Amino acid sequence: MILRLPWRVITQFRRSNKFEAIRWCSSCEQPPARQRRPATSKPSQPQKDLYLDHRRIGQEQDLYMINELTPGSIFFLPHGTRIYNRLLEFMRAQLRGFGFDEVVSPIIYRKTLWQISGHWDKYKDDMYKVSDRSDGTDVGEDDDYGLKPMNCPGHCLIFDSTLRSYNDLPIRFADFSPLHRNEAKGALTGLTRVRRFHQDDGHIFCTPDQVEQEIKNSLQLVDNVYSAFRVPSYRLLLSTRPEKFIGALEEWDKAENDLRNVLEQSEVPWEINDGDGAFYGPKIDILIKDSNGKEHQAATIQLDFQLPRRFNLKYKGADGKDDHRPVLIHRAVFGSVERFLAIVIEQHQGRWPLWLNPRQLMIIPISHAQSEFAHAQQEIISGNASDKKKLFSFMAEPLFVDVDERPETLGHRMREAIKKGYNYVAVVGPKESSKNVLAIRNLSDQSNKTTEYSAAEVRDLIIGKMNTFE
Ligand code: ZN
């Protein structure tokens, strides 16, 4: 089943100001998110009156909640967590394919780290500070810590933990750590403007000669991911050297030339945003165009000459000298996973494609007599064996299968399954149980047609479709 519902604007793309871009690295920057609410939007087609905001769908489908005791931090409920985890599993698989090594890095760091990275002096108000216990035993230690708003400084520490050779590069770190930014309380909105979030964050440390290939790979990854999410179209924006910049002119020229070469080779439309790069490096912003023709920023790929300098990162070159400076590339495809999830929720309007659906199959036994049979089918299809004396395999792909055996009419239970957004429903009666099959109905198919399958066949069918992101 492929849902081709239009992409909606939930954010407005704000052209990043070159000085504003100093604030956080571009790929780590919390995109400015301004919620477009149905009440204030101007739909150009009648059905858009039915357009549901992600917060409404999130509530109806029990995906997430927020509590005043921790404003701006999301509690993902079980069904929301299923989708969230699926997004991460999906991205982990892509990143492995592109040579990233996932790391798990600390959340709090001494203020010294933020002084080195440059954030403490200018932007500490946007960071959460944490105090160490001051028992006087660590005289001279700095007791102030900050919760990380981004992963790059931590990744610089990993890079710098050992002597790197040009043979080791590129080194690509992926990180899904929680990040915290002290957003103004009044600005917090659903999943799009939050204080705690996660990113599909990645940092590539490479030689200047490797930049072109790494950018090429990053754009290919973006294209692959967008095709899985059925993004109708997008374009690329190259932001070049601003008036105030750091680094050598020839360094910039080479980097911009590399980016231009890659963009020229790509089949995606692109433009130059002259002079709008960050002071520490040029960048490529990826702008998604939705069905209304509006754009919003999604992924970014950012070159950085600054952090490697601030952290004094070096590698040993082919010439035997160990004072070569790596180039750092920040990149994220989802950006904030929470915000991306909001986009996906609104894109699908709660009608999930099979591979993302936290509710894939509902089995409805006609009467209590088929209850045991229904649960046996659920066990086979979901992959959740009931024998608790055995270890459960972590290799088994869990599928989301429920049984509705409430004493309600068949029609009522069927309607509820449709309302909750199941992809498939299987009604089992005496005929099915005697034949040991399930009559499967695809709820996106208007014909009400059912097809008989064994439980093992249903499992294979669902896994097969998930493998092609249907
Ligand atoms: Zn970064």
- Look up 155 and say whether it is catalytic: no
Concerning whether 360 is annotated as a catalytic residue, the answer is no
CB atoms within 10 A of CB 221: 22
Band (452; pLDDT cuts 50, 70, 90): very high
Assess whether 199 carries a catalytic annotation: yes
Pairing of strands 178-180, 196-206: antiparallel
- Judged by DSSP in three states, 462 sits in helix
Rounded distance, CA 299 to CA 287, Å?
Answer: 8
Which residues make beta-bridge pairs with 316?
A: 165
Pick the catalytic residue: 181, 348, 359, 459? 181
Which pLDDT belongs to residue 30?
43
404 vs 366: CA distance, rounded Å: 10
pLDDT at position 289 is 65
Q: Which long-range contacts (CB under 8 A, 24 or more apart) does 62-69 make?
A: 63/345, 63/358, 64/191
Based on the residue annotation, tell me whether 152 is a catalytic residue of this protein: yes
Reply yes or no on whether the pLDDT at 460 is more than 60. Answer: yes
Q: What percent of the chain has pLDDT over 90?
A: 60
Structure-token pair, residue 408: 């309600």
**Tens of pLDDT along 57-97?**
999 999 999 999 999 999 999 999 999 999 999 999 999 99
- Asked if 296 is an active-site residue, the reply is no
Q: Is 203 a residue of the active site?
A: yes
Q: Does residue 33 register a pLDDT over 60?
A: no
* Residue 210 identity (one-letter amino acid): Q
Lowest mean pLDDT among 5-14, 40-49, 153-162, 216-225: 5-14
pLDDT digit string, tens, across residues 121-140: 777 888 999 887 766 555 55
Amino acid in the structure at residue 377? Q
Q: Residue 247: which pLDDT band, with cuts at 50, 70 and 90?
A: confident
Query: What distance in angstroms lies between residue 278's CA and the mean position of ligand 1's atoms?
Result: 13
Residue among 25, 152, 156, 206 flagged as catalytic: 152
Alpha helices in 320-453, H assignment, sequence order: 337-348, 371-382, 410-420, 430-435
- What confidence tier does 349 reach under pLDDT thresholds 50, 70, 90? confident
Active site residue 370: no
How many angstroms separate the first and last alpha carbons of the chain? 5
pLDDT value at residue 248 = 83
How many Cβ atoms are within 10 Å of 351's Cβ, its own excluded? 15
Q: Is the pLDDT of residue 400 over 50?
A: yes
C-alpha of residue 173 to centroid of ligand 1, in Å: 10
What tokens does 130 get? 């944490």
Residues contacting 197, CB < 8 A, separation 6+:
30, 74, 178, 179, 181, 336, 337, 338, 339
Which of 79, 198, 203, 324 is flagged as catalytic? 203
pLDDT classification of 290: cutoffs 50, 70, 90: low
Distance, CA 203 to ligand 1 centroid (Å)?
Answer: 6
Provide the token pair at 279: 């002071």
Mean pLDDT computed over 17-31: 41
Q: How far is the CA of 245 from the centre of ligand 1 (A)?
A: 18
Q: How far is the CA of 92 from the centre of ligand 1 (A)?
A: 18
CA of 163 to the centre of ligand 1 (A): 22
pLDDT for residue 125: 85
Kindly report the backbone phi and psi dihedral angles of residue 47, in degrees, each rounded to the nearest multiple of 5, phi listed first.
-70, -15
Q: What is the pTM of this model?
A: 0.86
* CB-based neighbours (< 5 A) of ligand 1, an ion: 25, 28, 152, 330
Alpha carbon distance 21, 283 (integer Å) = 11
CA of 380 to the centre of ligand 1 (A): 43
Ligand 1 geometric centre to CA of 445 (Å): 44
- Mean pLDDT (the chain, rounded): 85
